Structure 1
Amino acid sequence: MNGSSGNSNTGAMVLIAVLLSGTAIYLLQGIITPLLLAVFLLVMVADMAGTLHRWVPKVPLALWTGISVLIIAVAFVVLTLFLIDNLTGLIAGGGNYNAKLNAVLRAAGDLFGVRATPSFESLMDSVQTPEVAGAVVSWLQGGLSAAAFVLIYLGFLLVSQRSFSAKLTILKPTGEGALDVDQIIARIQKAVTGYVSVQTTTGLMIAVASWAVMALIGLPQPIFWAFLIFVASYVPIVGGVVAIFVPALFSVMVFEGFGRPVILLSSLMVIGFVVGNIIQPRMQGVGLNLDPVVVLLSLAFWGVLLGATGAFLSTPLTVAAMAILAEFKTTRWLAVLLSNDGNPYPTKPRRIVRRTRVPV
């Protein structure tokens, strides 16, 4: 009875801790969101710098770290200019879509029995243009402000990285059965970089194949749509589905009839299915070891707490949580539930981090 009561108390305490932590993260998301993105970029910078240092060991690691930061910054600027250029092109050709949109609205009205179908122009006239423009400007300002905070956090993290490592070494627990902090951090870093590597590779596969299909069909700005599909592939499950339907819906406004839009949608769905259900699981292997249901639930959980950033980082955050929970006897059952095979952390003899010398 005492053992059962103890387990119940432990479970209740863990549940309360999760709820309190979730509430704190939600209330402080304005501070936590850029910090998490900065930590994510720090892991990517460290992995890139380490890879470059292994290729050219004569160059100091610190220099490779600076080069890695510069590469990421330049890539961000180039992608931003690329998006602006393609969006400008789409907006410039918007007048050519009016007639097609009116035809689509009439067809939808006939389908649902609506006699007086509104035109696209009348719908646009009902839109409060100043309010929409203000919302767009506010969204852009918020995005730039968030990016600035992320870069500031990243700079401070890079500067304090060495001192933090020294502090962590001092704070490590000692003695028999002590937690292997280095191993936990290494496992989290390996899982995060592995996840990003797999998502990047499979996302490129989907994007390149989608670009080829869209270019063959004649969809305007195929590189832009392929890039959106690539970015959306980092959001598990939902991102790929949404990214496939957006260019297909856009094709309805471009092509006459529904033949090519149907072909486009079918082709994109086949590409997403083959890569997402055959290639991607084989590449992931047992590296992440997350239950598919947990992946979906973590997407919803972190999305509610941290918005779009939480959806983007949902899988790495869940992998990190599973690695930490598996190290404690009272929370290991949670890690078991999160894992795919019930073994989140292989059971093996605990190696001693640092023995405590007893004076004689």
Structure 2
Amino acid sequence: MTAPPPEAPQPAAGGGRSAQWAIPRGLIVLLVAAATVVAVTGAKAFAGVLGPVFLALMLTIAVQPIQQWMQRRGRPAWLGMLAALVVVYLILLGLVAAMAVSAAQLATSLPDYSDRFGDLLDQVQNLLARFDIDQERIDHALSGFDLGKLVEVLEDLLRGLAGAFSNLVFVVTLLLFMVFDGMSIGRRMDVLRGMRPDIAQALGSFTAGTRKYLIVSTVFGLIVAVLDGVALGLLAVPFPLLWALLSFITNYIPNIGFVIGLVPPALLALLDSGVTKMIWVIVLYCVFNVVVQSVIQPKYVGDAVGLSVTITFLSLVFWSWVLGALGALLAIPLTLLAKALLFDMDPSTRWMDVLIGGSTPGGGPPAPDGSRAGRR
């Protein structure tokens, strides 16, 4: 008795094949890498537009609690929008005006230090000559140091300030539309939470983390700015208010903002009063800024945003390369936005938080749902 012939494989439901076609994991990695390169190249090409858009988004998130507070007190939605808009306009225009006036005063006063700058170059040249360094090499090394060129750069910067106001007008206009949309963002998030809770959770985590980061950075920036401004005033360093403002702004730049804020007042102290005052400026900046920005502030920033120190530094490098100066100022919020879009929206990829998250007060890593392990 012969065995019955084997049955032919039945087609899957819907007429498809029974065997599923899977993309090799290596090919997925290559496709993701290629898509990332294309996206980053496009972002870098449109940095002039994306930078102001992200700045407007961060400012809108910062003042959104004003609208929510007004609505909770029963005030009309348009009144909360108007209050938030006035606050954010005053902050933005105040910073721009203060920087423009201070830069103009600095550019006007720098030519007075030209003789002192020349004397310092002569001293450096004599010092190098004592070490038997070839005079031609000394002249070549010092040829690029010219205070007149620095003044010309500052004057060009001030003349180009009118061009920068085109971006400022764009940011101001975009803020108007974003704050207007903020009147209904609460209802939209409620609807989204019912339809796609994972996406709503990721976006809510991004806005909460960004707002905490901005609050922490602003508070510590004000502390550092006051300490630096008072110290520079007591040392009689020219333009202490300008350097205090610079310390406040560079506090939003992670890791290296302290160095950027230190170099200009230290150099001006050297030109104005010599090496001793420059050393005092460096020492006081290190005492104030290193303690506040490198010891105290990272603890609160890391707890607020959930990013490790390494990821924070890499985000600074990456976003500075893509968007320029605005990328450096907005590196942390932009990284939080990328984290929300790429990882937090999908429960299957939230394990990445364990790798990129910073340590917590309880010593544990961030949990996959965005909460903190070890926190009670």
Fold agreement, TM-score > 0.5? yes
Give the number of equivalent residue pairs: 337
The structure 1 residue matched to 2:56, chosen from 15, 26, 38, is: 38
For 2:56 and 2:322, how far apart are their aligned partners in 1? 17
**1:179 touches 1:327 (CA, 8 Å); kept in 2?**
no
User: Hey, what does 1:66 align to over in structure 2?
Assistant: 82
Secondary structure in 2 matching 1:93: helix
Deviation readout 1:164-195 (Å, 9 max, x if unpaired): 77666666674xxx543322222111100100
Question: Taking every aligned residue pair, what percent have the same amino acid on both sides?
Answer: 23
User: Hey, what does 2:110 align to over in structure 1?
Assistant: 94
- Unaligned runs of 5+ residues in structure 1 are 349-360
Cα 1:49/1:202, change in 2 over 3 Å: same
The structure 2 residue matched to 1:224, chosen from 242, 261, 274, is: 242
Deviation at 1:246, TM superposition (A): 1.7
Secondary structure in 2 matching 1:112: helix
For 2:351 and 2:57, how far apart are their aligned partners in 1? 27
**1:14 touches 1:331 (CA, 8 Å); kept in 2?**
no
The structure 2 residue matched to 1:248, chosen from 266, 270, 274, is: 266
Deviation at 1:48, TM superposition (A): 3.4
User: Hey, what does 1:205 align to over in structure 2?
Assistant: 223
User: Hey, what does 1:267 align to over in structure 2?
Assistant: 284
**1:22 touches 1:305 (CA, 8 Å); kept in 2?**
yes
- Is residue 2:67 matched to residue 1:49? yes
Matches within 5 A, 1:300-339: 300-324=317-341, 325-329=343-347, 331-339=349-357
Higher radius of gyration, 1 or 2: 2
- Is residue 2:170 matched to residue 1:154? no
For 1:134 and 1:216, how far apart are their aligned partners in 2? 32
Cα 1:182/1:126, change in 2 over 3 Å: closer
- Is residue 2:161 matched to residue 1:140? yes
Deviation at 1:163, TM superposition (A): 6.4
Q: Please, which moves more after superposition, 100-109 or 61-70?
A: 61-70
**2:107 touches 2:155 (CA, 8 Å); kept in 1?**
no
What amino acid is aligned across from residue 281 of structure 1 in structure 2? P
**2:47 touches 2:323 (CA, 8 Å); kept in 1?**
yes
Deviation readout 1:97-135 (Å, 9 max, x if unpaired): 123212211111112225997999x94677996x98556
Deviation readout 1:181-227 (Å, 9 max, x if unpaired): 32222211110010011111111111111112111111112111111
TM-score normalised over the length of structure 1: 0.81
Deviation readout 1:225-256 (Å, 9 max, x if unpaired): 1111111111111222111122111110100x
Cα 1:53/1:329, change in 2 over 3 Å: closer
What amino acid is aligned across from residue 327 of structure 1 in structure 2? M
Cα 1:214/1:128, change in 2 over 3 Å: closer
- Is residue 2:92 matched to residue 1:76? yes
For 2:348 and 2:27, how far apart are their aligned partners in 1? 10
User: Hey, what does 1:181 align to over in structure 2?
Assistant: 199
Between the two structures, name the one with larger relative contact order (CA 8 Å, sep ≥ 6).
1
TM-score normalised over the length of structure 2: 0.77
For 2:35 and 2:190, how far apart are their aligned partners in 1? 27
What amino acid is aligned across from residue 157 of structure 1 in structure 2? M
